[in-house]
Structure 1
Amino acid sequence: MKHAINWFEIPVLDLNRAQKFYESLMDGPMHNMDMGESKMAIFPSDWMEGAVGGSIFHGEGIEPSTKGTTVYLNGGEDLSPYLARVESAGGQIILPKTAIGESGYIALFIDTEGNRVGLHSPQ
């Protein structure tokens, strides 16, 4: 097994609002996909070539939460530029950039939908 995670979905109530937030945060476009009544916007990655990928997801029974599983998005070499865009995009920082020893740095934020999401980087 190459990765413990294969795919992730962040639940959203308003796909357009959430997509604007994440495109601003990640500084790039997301790819939209309809799955019947459900809709998603996929984060840029090489997931089709075996890298871990994920999306924001809107559908029946989907409910954002600050409790439960925390997804950590790739913050590049230094998560600081990503974190600097959180509040201007409509989110709220709840844990600033924090060292976690040899594993690098993390930060946590609440997105526009009410999800607790993390960022991770080596620097």
Structure 2
Amino acid sequence: MENNLVGWFEIPVTDMDRAKKFYDTVFQIEIQLQDLGGTKMGWFPWTEGKQGSSGSLIQNKDWYTPSETHGVLIYFSSADVNNELGRIEDAGGKILQNKTQISPDIGYMALFSDTEGNRLALHSRQ
């Protein structure tokens, strides 16, 4: 296989503007909005040749429903998970699990809920 197995992810949202503001604030990025014939997408920044996959916020009431307890858990990479944890609650989210060591070799993780009710995670080596 030439590429990493995961190539794209989509995070369901019910309010695209609110979700964009949350992710822009927590990760200090600028999500690009697109309307594809009734399906709204907010694309995360992506750079060719860098490690990892990219993805999108997605709003389509017929196909996507946010969930804090069901479904896939996406981990966002971080230099230190405490950086983003410090911005989550001010941006309208909720910390579900503070920074926790997975193992000395793997690093640390934390869980949070976004403004749409999705459960997501952070990972850092330190």
TM more than 0.5 = yes
Q: 2:72 matched to which residue of 1? A: 69
> 1:43 maps to what in 2?
44
Alpha-carbon displacement from aligned partner over 1:3-47 (angstroms, at most 9, x marks no partner): 12100000000000000000001112111112111011111121x
SS at match of 1:85: helix
**Percent of aligned pairs with the same residue?**
42
**How far off its partner does 1:119 sit?**
0.7
Question: Which secondary structure does the structure 2 equivalent of 1:100 belong to?
Answer: strand
Q: Verify: 1:103 aligned to 2:109, yes or no.
A: no
Q: Supply the distance in 2 between the matched residues of 1:49 and 1:37 (Cα, whole angstroms).
A: 31
SS at match of 2:117: coil
Q: For residues 20 and 45 of structure 2, what CA distance do their matches in structure 1 show?
A: 12
1:78-119 CA deviation, whole Å, 9 max, x = no partner? 121111100000000001011111111111001100000111
Give, as a single letter, the amino acid of the residue that structure 1 aligns with 2:43. Answer: I
Q: What CA distance in whole angstroms lies between the structure 2 residues aligned with 1:12 and 1:49?
A: 28
Report runs of 4+ in structure 1 exceeding 6 Å deviation.
none
How far, CA to CA, are the matches of 1:110 and 1:49 in structure 2? 30
Q: CA shift at 1:60, angstroms?
A: 3.0
**Native 8 Å contact 2:38 2:60 kept in 1:** yes
Aligned counterparts of 1:91 and 1:60: Cα–Cα separation in 2 = 21
* Unmatched segments (≥5 aa) in structure 2: none
Deviations 1:49-75 (A, max 9, x none): 575101110013210001121011122
Asked whether 1:121 is paired with 2:124, we answer yes
Contact in 1 for aligned 2:14/2:61 (Cα 8 Å): no
Task: Give the Cα separation in 2 of the matches to 1:25 and 1:54.
Answer: 16
Alpha-carbon distance in structure 2 between the residues aligned to 1:110 and 1:5: 22
Greater shift in the superposed pair: 6-15 or 50-59? 50-59
Q: Which has the higher helix share?
A: 1
CA RMSD of aligned residues (A): 1.3
